[in-house]
């Protein structure tokens, strides 16, 4: 009898261990916890935790955060001798409280500059600005913000350098200087070059050349951020995969930093995220003002599934996948490139409910060991 009882105990223990080693996952961050960070971009209201339901969703589903706007220079450095870190401090504190990976966005970008920055025309003044701006911000959050978009969107579509106020005053050297200053301010932070459409061949070649030049000149580049403002049919999975492989071959990490998928008509064949492009609206350009048809929901779900399947194939090269917004209502695509349209680009709908797109991403990782 004693032997039988011991046998039954052993069998029960084995069954328990086997059952507990496989468990059904119910959130994105848990499903992909052994693969890469799952992140989202937070608005000012979300940073200030103004909506309990939204806050609950953020904490449940994501383990990495980026500030959608409040760390851009027009907000953090509104005047030459004045910084405003009120919301940035709350953003970092939010990430720390919830044990999230915190990403800084962005240090040097031609857009959303404070007006006084746009007037800098002298190279000496620009160098002084860059040194003060980067050193002050990165040093303030040293050891707390784990990675930075050091330079954002420095390239044209053909891969040449964008004629920004930084290029006009300092030439290509500003790229090297930016990364060197960021490394000096926090040697342990991961430093990224971030841009849209850099999975397209010409722009990808330009980004690769840019990163090589920075590294050869002594700048530290730890990774590249592919924004991922994509469409239902493009870019192709082949081009995305080529990009992962070619950037990884540089010895750097690959992150997908601003992922969303537009489902609306695009007669101008716009790609990426040039926030300065705007067009007149019409009913034809806003075909789903109230709800997204099931047929399009299915297409969106299939697109997300195929993308994440590719990400999983190359998970050893990918550090983070961040959605650009928590849910559809928040998305910047409701206003770009036509104001007032209703878009549906994210895995959560306007009511914070799972969409088929969410289910398709989760289904790829239904069980974890």
Q: Any idea where the domains of the chain sit in the sequence? A: 26-368
Cα atoms in the 13 Å half-sphere on the side-chain side of 113 = 18
Position 71 pLDDT exceeds 90: yes
Q: State yes or no: is 172 an active-site residue.
A: no
Could you read off the pLDDT of 197-228 as tens digits, one per residue?
999 999 999 999 999 999 999 999 999 999 99
Q: State yes or no: is 125 an active-site residue.
A: no
Are the CB atoms for 296 and 288 separated by under 8 Å? yes
The stretch 244-253 carries a mean pLDDT of 98
Query: Mean pLDDT of all residues in the chain?
Result: 91
Position 10 pLDDT exceeds 50: no
Query: Which of 61, 183, 200, 258 is the catalytic position?
Result: 258
Query: Which of 153, 183, 199, 200 is the catalytic position?
Result: 153
Query: Is residue 52 classed as helix, strand or coil in its secondary structure?
Result: helix
- Taking the mean position of all CA atoms in its chain, how far away is CA 254? 11
Question: CA 296, CA 166: separation in Å to the nearest integer?
Answer: 42
- Confidence band of 117 (pLDDT split at 50, 70, 90): very high
Answer yes or no: CATH 3.20.20.80 is held by domain 26-368.
yes
Query: Is residue 320 classed as helix, strand or coil in its secondary structure?
Result: strand
The two tokens of residue 79 are 């005047």
Could you read off the pLDDT of 280-322 as tens digits, one per residue?
556 788 999 999 999 999 999 999 999 999 999 999 999 999 9
The stretch 248-256 carries a mean pLDDT of 98
> Of 26, 65, 3, which is closest to residue 322 (Cα–Cα)?
65
């Amino acid at each position: 009898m004693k032997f039988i009882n011991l046998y039954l105990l052993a069998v029960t223990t084995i069954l328990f261990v086997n059952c507990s080693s496989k468990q059904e996952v119910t959130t994105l961050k848990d499903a992909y916890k052994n693969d890469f960070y799952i992140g989202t971009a937070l608005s000012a209201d979300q940073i200030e935790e103004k909506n309990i339901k939204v806050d609950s969703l953020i904490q449940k589903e994501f383990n990495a955060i980026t500030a959608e706007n409040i760390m851009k220079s027009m907000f953090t450095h509104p005047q030459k001798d004045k910084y405003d870190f009120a919301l940035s401090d709350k953003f970092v504190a939010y990430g720390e409280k919830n044990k999230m990976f915190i990403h800084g966005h962005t240090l040097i970008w031609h857009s959303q500059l404070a007006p006084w920055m746009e007037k800098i025309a002298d190279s000496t003044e620009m160098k002084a600005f860059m040194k003060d701006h980067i050193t002050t911000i990165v040093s303030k959050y040293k050891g707390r913000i784990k990675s930075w978009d050091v330079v954002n969107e420095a390239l044209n579509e053909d891969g040449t350098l964008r004629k920004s106020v930084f290029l006009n005053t300092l030439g290509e050297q500003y790229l090297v200087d930016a990364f060197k200053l960021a490394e000096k301010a926090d040697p342990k932070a991961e430093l990224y070059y971030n841009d849209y459409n850099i999975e397209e061949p010409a722009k990808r070649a330009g980004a690769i050349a840019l990163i090589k030049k920075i590294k050869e000149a002594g700048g530290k580049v730890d990774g590249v951020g592919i924004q991922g403002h994509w469409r239902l049919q493009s870019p192709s999975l082949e081009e995305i995969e080529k990009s992962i492989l070619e950037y990884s071959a540089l010895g750097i990490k690959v992150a997908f930093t601003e992922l969303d998928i537009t489902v609306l008509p695009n007669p101008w064949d716009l790609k990426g995220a040039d926030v300065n492009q705007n067009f007149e609206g019409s009913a034809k350009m806003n075909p789903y003002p109230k709800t997204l048809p099931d047929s399009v929901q299915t297409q969106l779900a299939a697109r997300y599934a195929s993308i994440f399947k590719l990400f999983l194939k190359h998970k050893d090269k990918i550090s983070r996948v961040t959605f650009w917004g928590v849910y559809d209502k928040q998305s910047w695509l409701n206003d770009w490139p036509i104001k007032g349209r209703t878009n549906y680009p994210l895995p959560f709908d306007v009511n914070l409910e799972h969409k088929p797109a969410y289910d398709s991403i989760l289904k790829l990782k239904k069980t974890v060991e």
